[in-house]
Amino acid sequence: MFVVRPARLKDLDGLQALAEKTGTGLTTLPSNKKALEAKIRESMAAFSGEPNLGEKASYLLVMEDPSDGKVVGTSALIVGVGLDKPFYSYRILHQTQVSHEPEMRVDTELLQLANDFVGATEVATLFLDPDYRKGNLGKLMSKARYMLMAAHPDRFSDQVISEIRGWVDEDGNSPFWEALGRHFFGMDFKTADEINGLGNSQFISDLMPKFPIYTALLPQCARDVIGKPHDSARPAIRLLEKEGFRFSRSVDIFDGGPALEVHKRGIWTSRKSVEGELGGTVEGEGHDPMHMACNPALDNFRVVLTNVVEGASGVWIPADAADALQIKAGDPVRYAPIGRKTPQAAE
């Protein structure tokens, strides 16, 4: 039974191997062992510390393959973005100008460098090994973060955002970067992306243009990808939209990828989650799991896919799920449906 749990130092090599499979654009999971170790240590400090929305904190989760202990996925929550160093995005502004002689109306868009998301909670670093993209494991890896937020809401700010990887061509080149960023940074997209991924955002503040940029002055190939996600990010966007996230009209300053946002109370999985008491277990492994269940204890937070039955004496889950969650009868357990039916399709 696959388990999502907080990252530990023993996961460093596994995370490194996972990072090497991500390609360009996932800056929060750099293929750099020193940077990854720092992220794990920061997460361990967050899980063991007191909640403080006035400081940045990062919660890094991993998915473990029970057959061999291999790290096959990861996702994260970053609290207080922009509190330790600038967090930049381009806000898309709309401007209308009207002339009466001659009669004419011109609608234009501008990109304004902004720090709109300072203090927000970012859902980030979602990546699942391609060999494991099956059986709702992607949903588990993504939604485990919302179970953590539901179990410990005082640790997460109201505004929740997600930055989506922008569109790049088959060679990893970003039309948006080539039309804009390269003129001010004098480096290719991959180099700038790697520098930013290692945590050095000061060069953005030093070099990025501070005045609004008229998108009409950009080549068509760059305008076409403003707010356009990377092809591989479309499944993640669908998951986010079903949770209640919507386009914020802000885009990434490197690749033009969209930023989505939602209020913490509007996240579907968190709203649907319920905390109860484990009444007992049933033998046998559950088939076609319809729920996520988690051990809500911060020092031993764990999430699995399983089935949950509500009873007069509490909730009941398969014995193997209880073992994976490391809980016993009488312990608290939080659970939520893995998806919901819509008129068009099942989530």
The set of catalytic residues is 230
Nearest alpha-carbon partner for 273 in 338, 324, 321, 191: 338
Residue 23: strand, helix, or coil: coil
Q: What is the 3-state secondary structure (H, E, C) of 72-96?
A: EEEEEEEECCCCCCCCCEEEEEEEE
Question: Bridge-partner residues for 292, per DSSP?
Answer: 305, 336
195 and 224 Cβ atoms separated by less than 8 Å: no
Tell me the CA distances in angstroms from 205 to 95, 105, 225, 333, one per residue in order: 25, 35, 23, 45
Residue in 133, 2, 120, 11 with CA at minimum distance from that of residue 60: 11
Three-class SS string for 201-262? CHHHHHHCCCCCEEHHHCCHHHHCCCCCECHHHHHHHHHHHHHCCEEEEEECCCCCCEEEEE
110 burial class (0-12, 13-18, 19+ CB within 10 angstroms)? Answer: middle
Q: Are strands 121-128 and 103-114 parallel, antiparallel or unpaired?
A: unpaired
CB atoms within 10 A of CB 266: 15
The DSSP bridge pattern shows strands 3-6 and 57-64 to be: antiparallel
**Residue 11 exposed, middle or buried by CB count within 10 Å (0-12, 13-18, 19+):** buried
Strand blocks (E) in 80-210 = 89-100, 103-114, 121-128, 159-163
